[in-house]
């Protein structure tokens, strides 16, 4: 026994494993290895306040160095783990400076990499992705000089960047291949509400359009669409999703299917290794035969806290209701539960007052909601899901009735919100 738990990846999830171990009374060494040079920081502001220049870099830090010192969390920053091995009684990591670290337990919290655009011209200067603080600094500098910004991808990160760029007076176009924004996560009325908000700000939204190439000599000058149309652009942002980082997991022989396969508490196929956060895929809450990646701060924090318990042989307890938020300028979106797999939905409100709620049902039971501009609805749904309750879909459409008064018990407990 080495008396050491190693955590690879010093992001939101990795830090939470380390803090969770201490909170649960683990007294051995906790070593947190992170490839980025910064102290563990939060990513959500990178596409919002930090990009806009209203949130300074110091405010991104999740915990300051002195607190981590008090917690005896050993930080090895700016170093990557390049090799790992594990057996029945423990294992060893090798870092990119040649040093090695023996461990009893291992947490993989390696996150995800921003996907690059798979088209000619994607490596031209002026074509940027967004995942790290270094990316956000490059993007912020690029925005300062840009006039025509094209955001490829109408998901949360792309739309947040679009809102930030538009608020700075840039001409902004969002190009989305699907026939509506947020198609992967939201029902059509919610997509339409989000689109209407962006268009009201003056952003051009093109859906059902693919990108064939990025044009320019020396620097990006335009985006060539699949139909041959050329959009002028002096800055292109790729908001086309992220790919889980799984190379170490594969080398360790863990089960990997797109992400590292875990249970909701981070257990992998090896008893000494947990994996947490964006690098993982978990059983789908409504269809356990399928796997689902849940890229959110809430998942990173909850799965990591549970995984710390697993590493110590403790009961991680039940998981809470999954939730997510996205701020796109004044547009405040909140999502509770997992809507994927719903069979019906109910729309509450018409969005005219900025508020719209979509409730999702599966087999007659509430499973999720997407909420715009209405924290009360969000809290009511989150509460209902946490208590295994439902909300009468017919009554929910009446916006004069507060949603929380409609929360009612169901006969058997819900499997997972
Ligand atoms: C721009 C942006 C905006 C977002 N906005 C929201 C939001 O509004 N709401 C929300 O809920 N979520 C949001 N998210 C998602 C949320 O930030 C992520 O779900 C969360 O950061 C995941 O944490 P993680 O620790 O799993 O991964 P990460 O934060 O990616 O951390 C992984 C770390 O592991 C390191 N690493 C990888 N491989 C190695 C190795 N071999 N050795 C050492 N280190 C390694 C990486 O360098 C990285 O620092 C946003 C994400 C982005 C990028």
From 12, 38, 320, mutation site for ligand 1 pocket: most ligand atoms within 8 A of C-beta: 12
For 26-147, strand residue ranges (E) read 29-34, 73-77, 81-86, 91-95, 100-103, 105-108, 112-114, 127-129
Radius of gyration, alpha carbons of the chain: 22
Residue 403 Cβ < 6 Å to ligand 1: no
The low-confidence residues of the chain, meaning pLDDT below 50, are 413-414, 416-417
Residue 252 Cβ < 6 Å to ligand 1: no
| Cβ contacts of 350 within 8 Å, gap of 6 or more | 356
Residue 324 Cβ < 6 Å to ligand 1: yes
Q: Residue 246: its pLDDT value, please?
A: 98
Q: Residue 116: its pLDDT value, please?
A: 96
* 23 CA distance to ligand 1 middle (Å): 22
* 121 CA distance to ligand 1 middle (Å): 26
| Cβ contacts of 406 within 8 Å, gap of 6 or more | 380, 391, 392, 395, 396
The C-alpha atoms of residue 22 and residue 196 are separated, in whole angstroms, by: 47
* CA atoms lying within 13 Å on the CB side of residue 155: 14
DSSP H/E element including 307:
helix 297-311
Residue 28 Cβ < 6 Å to ligand 1: no
Q: Residue 417: its pLDDT value, please?
A: 43
* pLDDT one-digit tens code per residue, 149-193: 999 999 999 999 999 999 999 999 999 999 999 999 999 999 999
* 362 CA distance to ligand 1 middle (Å): 31
Residue 295 Cβ < 6 Å to ligand 1: yes
Q: Residue 412: its pLDDT value, please?
A: 55
From 7, 8, 9, mutation site for ligand 1 pocket: most ligand atoms within 8 A of C-beta: 9
Residue 36 Cβ < 6 Å to ligand 1: yes
Residue 133 Cβ < 6 Å to ligand 1: no
Q: Residue 411: its pLDDT value, please?
A: 58
* 11 CA distance to ligand 1 middle (Å): 6
Identify the sign of the CA torsion 199, 370, 46, 296: negative
Q: Residue 273: its pLDDT value, please?
A: 98
404 close to 376: Cβ distance less than 8 angstroms: yes
Residue 34 Cβ < 6 Å to ligand 1: yes
The C-alpha atoms of residue 60 and residue 58 are separated, in whole angstroms, by: 5
292 close to 264: Cβ distance less than 8 angstroms: no
* pLDDT one-digit tens code per residue, 309-357: 999 999 999 999 999 999 999 999 999 999 999 999 999 999 999 999 9
Nearest one of 357, 367, 392 to 287, comparing CA atoms: 367
pTM of the model: 0.96
The C-alpha atoms of residue 177 and residue 121 are separated, in whole angstroms, by: 18
Q: Residue 409: its pLDDT value, please?
A: 81
List phi, psi (to 5°) of 259.
-110, 175
């Amino acid at each position: 026994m080495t008396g050491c738990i190693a955590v690879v990846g010093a992001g939101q999830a990795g830090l939470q494993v380390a803090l969770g171990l201490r909170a649960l009374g683990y007294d051995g060494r906790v070593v947190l290895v992170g490839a980025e040079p910064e102290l563990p920081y939060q990513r959500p502001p990178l596409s919002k306040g930090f990009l806009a220049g209203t949130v300074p870099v110091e405010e991104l830090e999740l915990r300051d160095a002195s607190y981590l010192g008090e917690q005896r969390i050993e930080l090895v920053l700016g170093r990557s783990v390049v090799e790992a091995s594990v057996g029945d009684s423990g294992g060893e990591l090798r870092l990119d400076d040649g040093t090695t670290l023996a461990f009893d337990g291992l947490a993989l919290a390696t996150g995800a990499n921003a996907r690059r655009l798979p088209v000619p011209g994607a490596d031209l200067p002026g074509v940027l992705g967004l995942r790290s603080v270094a990316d956000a600094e490059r993007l912020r500098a690029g925005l300062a000089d840009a006039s025509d910004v094209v955001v490829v991808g109408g998901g949360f990160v792309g739309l947040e960047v679009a809102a930030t760029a538009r608020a700075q007076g840039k001409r902004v176009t969002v190009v989305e291949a699907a026939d509506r924004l947020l198609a992967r996560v939201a029902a059509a009325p919610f997509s339409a509400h989000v689109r209407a908000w962006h268009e009201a700000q003056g952003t051009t939204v093109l859906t059902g359009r693919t990108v064939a190439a990025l044009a320019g000599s020396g620097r990006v000058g335009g985006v060539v669409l699949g139909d041959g149309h050329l959009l002028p652009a002096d800055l292109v942002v790729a908001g086309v999703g992220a790919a889980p980082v799984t190379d170490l997991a594969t080398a360790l022989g863990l089960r990997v299917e797109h992400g590292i396969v875990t249970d909701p508490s981070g257990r992998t196929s090896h008893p000494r290794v947990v994996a947490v956060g964006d690098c993982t895929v978990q059983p789908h809450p409504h269809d356990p035969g399928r796997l689902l990646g849940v890229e959110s701060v809430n998942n990173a924090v909850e799965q990591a806290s549970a995984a710390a318990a697993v590493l110590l042989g403790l009961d991680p307890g039940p998981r809470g209701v999954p939730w997510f938020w996205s701020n796109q300028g004044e547009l405040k979106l909140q999502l509770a539960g997992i809507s994927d797999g719903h069979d019906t939905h109910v729309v509450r409100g018409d969005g005219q007052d900025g508020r719209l709620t979509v409730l999702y049902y599966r087999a007659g039971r509430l499973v999720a909601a997407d909420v715009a501009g209405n924290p009360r609805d969000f809290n009511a749904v989150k509460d209902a899901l946490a208590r295994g309750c439902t909300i009468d879909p017919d009554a929910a459409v009446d916006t004069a009735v507060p949603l929380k008064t409609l929360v009612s018990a169901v006969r058997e407990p819900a499997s997972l919100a």
